[in-house]
């Protein structure tokens, strides 16, 4: 099937996701020693806008760092726009989105596996367990909070591996022929040295385990698109709960719908956009894929106060 041109909303979303993913990686690299003995500026950004961090820290200690209150903005916007955060802002979600797009499933398989299932409940149970544990004094959110998970995996596995690999690569070329390296790879090496590579190779206990865990979670996207976001992520569950009655709602016009089910193919959350079963606001990541792919323009997003007349 020839790939259709995506709508401008989808293209805008991709740009926004890319920007936030790059911002995450940039802030990650900024978390290092700078002249004057300071860490980079604003490196806590993603944790500051993470309401799960605020909630668990507050439940556990009844005090929380003031900067974490920024996450109330996330929560507030979610009340109106639903889980937009998962689809547009979350850098871990952007990564899953990207990897999911490489999934080799057929259109038929995607339609069959892309809908709402009871496995979507799993993340809410994870969230409940984490919140209750926080109340009784064990903050376990960090093990499974998406930003903690992503950042930790980057710190302990991905970045050290990239650092070691690049270092090894340039060393090999240099050893093979210093003269050749001087004119070809050394300028690039100097550039990487300045902006990416660290002075000493970082080492962490358990780094192999963190790498396998991270690789496993990313690989699950080949089994189900955005597996982590749909079934595991407690932040997604929290935002799904906050945004279960969004003002921005997906409307499927039954008069126009030809029931082709194309909207189910790349539905990122498995939110039933096709109008046969009720649309699941808590699972919708507002990726606009369904609206983009719908040939009969039956799907639209509309502002409507929830609980109004049907």
Partner 1 sequence: MFRWIANFFCPPKDAGIDLKRRHVTAAAVMGIGGGWLFHAQPADRNADANSGVRETAPNPALIRPPGSLAEAEFLSKCIRCAECMKACPTNAIQPAALEAGLQGMWSPVLKMSVGYCEYKCNLCTQVCPTGAIAKMPLESKQKVRMGLAMVDKSRCLPYAYGKTCYQCQVQCPLPKKAIWQEDATVINSAGEKIAVKLPHVDADLCVGCGTCERKCPVTDQAAIRVTSVGETRNPQNQFTWRDRYSG
Q: Which of residues 32-61 bind partner 1 (CB under 8 A)?
A: 32-33, 37-39, 43-44, 47-48, 53, 56-57, 60-61
Choices 15-23, 106-114, 164-172, 196-204; region in contact with partner 1 by CB under 8 A: 196-204
Residue 16 CB, nearest approach to partner 1 (Å): 23
Q: Which two tokens stand for residue 61?
A: 């200690």
Residue 153 CB, nearest approach to partner 1 (Å): 9
Our CB check for partner 1 shows the closer of 232 and 293 to be: 232
Contact with partner 1 (CB under 8 A): which of 115, 145, 235, 299?
145
CB contact set of 176 (below 8 Å; sequence gap of 6+): none
Tokens 């007349």 map to which residue?
309
Contact with partner 1 (CB under 8 A): which of 55, 86, 141, 287?
141
Check binding of 121 to partner 1 (CB under 8 A): yes
Tokens 């396998």 map to which residue?
212
CA distances from 188 to 167, 173, 180, 204, 256 (A): 12, 12, 13, 27, 56
d(CA 224, CA 231) in angstroms, rounded, equals 10
Check binding of 211 to partner 1 (CB under 8 A): no
Our CB check for partner 1 shows the closer of 254 and 278 to be: 278
Task: Tell me how many helices (H) and strands (E) the chain has.
Answer: 18, 2
Check binding of 203 to partner 1 (CB under 8 A): yes
Within residues 62-81, the interface with partner 1 by CB under 8 A covers 64-65, 67-68
Choices 1-9, 91-99, 102-110, 129-137; region in contact with partner 1 by CB under 8 A: 129-137
The H or E element containing residue 95 is helix 91-100
CB contact set of 54 (below 8 Å; sequence gap of 6+): 64, 68, 69, 71, 72
In this structure, are residues 116 and 278 in contact, taking their beta carbons and an 8 Å threshold? no
Helix %, strand %, coil % for the chain, to 5?
60, 5, 35
Within residues 1-20, the interface with partner 1 by CB under 8 A covers none
d(CA 200, CA 144) in angstroms, rounded, equals 29
The H or E element containing residue 250 is strand 248-252
Contact with partner 1 (CB under 8 A): which of 82, 240, 273, 275?
240
Within residues 246-305, the interface with partner 1 by CB under 8 A covers 247, 277-282, 305
Choices 81-89, 132-140, 168-176, 292-300; region in contact with partner 1 by CB under 8 A: 132-140
Contact with partner 1 (CB under 8 A): which of 88, 159, 170, 286?
159
Q: How big is the site for partner 1, counted in residues (CB under 8 A)? A: 71
In this structure, are residues 269 and 283 in contact, taking their beta carbons and an 8 Å threshold? yes
Contact with partner 1 (CB under 8 A): which of 6, 107, 139, 300?
139
Residue 195 CB, nearest approach to partner 1 (Å): 16
Check binding of 136 to partner 1 (CB under 8 A): yes
Our CB check for partner 1 shows the closer of 10 and 115 to be: 115
For CA atoms 221, 88, 77, 265, the dihedral sign is negative
Contact with partner 1 (CB under 8 A): which of 107, 244, 248, 300?
244
Report H helices in 145-273: 146-153, 159-176, 178-183, 186-195, 207-219, 227, 234-242, 262-265
Residue 152 CB, nearest approach to partner 1 (Å): 4
Check binding of 85 to partner 1 (CB under 8 A): no
């Amino acid at each position: 099937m020839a790939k259709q041109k995506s709508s401008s909303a989808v293209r805008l979303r991709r740009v926004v996701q890319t920007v936030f993913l790059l911002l995450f990686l940039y802030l990650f690299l900024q978390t290092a020693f700078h002249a004057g003995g300071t860490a980079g500026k604003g490196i806590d950004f993603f944790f500051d806008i993470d309401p799960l961090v605020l909630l668990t820290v507050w439940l556990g200690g009844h005090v929380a760092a003031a900067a974490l209150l920024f996450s109330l903005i996330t929560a507030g916007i979610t009340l109106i726009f639903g889980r937009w955060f998962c689809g547009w802002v979350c850098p871990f979600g952007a990564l899953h989105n990207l990897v999911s797009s490489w999934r080799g499933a057929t259109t038929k398989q995607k339609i069959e596996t892309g809908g709402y299932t009871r496995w979507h409940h799993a993340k809410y149970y994870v969230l409940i367990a984490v919140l209750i544990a926080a109340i009784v004094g064990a903050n376990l959110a960090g093990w499974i909070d998406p930003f903690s998970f992503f950042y930790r995996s980057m710190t302990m596995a991905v970045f050290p591996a990239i650092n070691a690999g690049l270092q090894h690569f340039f060393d090999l070329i240099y050893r093979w022929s210093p003269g050749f390296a001087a004119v070809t790879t050394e300028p690039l090496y100097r550039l990487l040295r300045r902006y990416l590579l660290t002075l000493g190779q970082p080492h962490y206990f358990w780094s192999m385990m963190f790498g396998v865990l991270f690789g496993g979670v990313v690989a699950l996207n080949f089994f189900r698109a955005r597996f982590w976001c749909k079934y595991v992520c407690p932040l997604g569950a929290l935002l799904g709960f906050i945004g279960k009655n969004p003002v921005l709602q997906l409307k499927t016009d039954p008069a126009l719908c030809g029931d082709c089910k194309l909207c189910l193919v790349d539905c990122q959350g498995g939110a039933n956009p096709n109008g046969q079963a009720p649309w699941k606001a808590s699972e919708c990541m507002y990726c606009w894929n369904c609206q983009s792919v719908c040939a009969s323009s039956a799907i639209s997003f509309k502002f409507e106060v929830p609980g109004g007349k049907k």
